[in-house]
Chain A
Amino acid sequence: MENVLDYLSAALLLLGSFFVVVGGIGVLRMPDVFTRMHAAGVTDTMGSFFILTGLMLQTGFDGVTLRLAMILGFLWFTSPVATHALAKAALHGKVEPIVHEDERGD
């Protein structure tokens, strides 16, 4: 049973680090501040979910798991709120989003 949990935890950590690195590359290469917010949101939600769940599977069900779950819940609740506040402040600060007008369908 421990082997299955170890492999599952390793797979979840690998998936989490993949999401974190992909989001980081997105923050570097995206053309606009609003698209970069989307890439950073990927690291905050998906990356932290897989990494923290992978860590939760490595210990038994005790106080450490509860604290990891609290951290995960808090990150999940507050990251979208922070992204929304940032987007609202950027629009209020008159940052123009990049909009491609000619690619809309008729």
Chain B
Amino acid sequence: MMVVGASIAVLVTMGMAMVRALLGPTVYDRVLAVNMFGTKTVLTIALIGFFTGRPEFLDLALAYGLLNFIGTIAVLKFFQFGSLGASGPPPGETESG
């Protein structure tokens, strides 16, 4: 019963994060909202797994947590450096340099 209430609260918070993703004036607001959405999805899957009686979904929640974190860091790296971490000039330019 309390699991149901907790999952409703987490769904409400997901709605609030989505409002922030729609409104946010800067792009960092939106990245923050997507990251928060991802961690709330982890909690939602854990709670749904419990009240439908299938705790096997926790593997999926773990995969979510990992990918959400890596995705956020990659997006921020992209904003800060302008590329996806390609190091150095492409091979065609080193011979002429």
CB within 8 Å of B: which residues of A? 9-10, 13-14, 16-18, 20-21, 23-25, 27-28, 33, 36-37, 40, 43-44, 47-48, 51-52, 54-55, 58-59, 64, 67-68, 70-71, 74-75, 78-79, 81-82, 85-86, 88-90, 92-93, 95
* A-B Cβ contacts below 8 A, count: 137
Contact (Cβ within 8 A) A67 B10: no
CB within 8 Å of A: which residues of B? 1-3, 5-6, 8-10, 12-13, 16-17, 19-20, 24, 26-29, 31-33, 35-36, 39-40, 42-43, 46-47, 50, 55, 58-59, 61-62, 65-66, 69, 72-73, 76, 79-80
Chain B residues near A48 (CB, 8 Å)?
39, 42-43
Q: A82-B72, A93-B79 are in contact. Are A27 and B6 (CB under 8 A)?
A: no
| Contacting residue for B46 out of A24, A55, A90, CB 8 A | A55
Q: A71-B46, A89-B76 are in contact. Are A16 and B32 (CB under 8 A)?
A: no
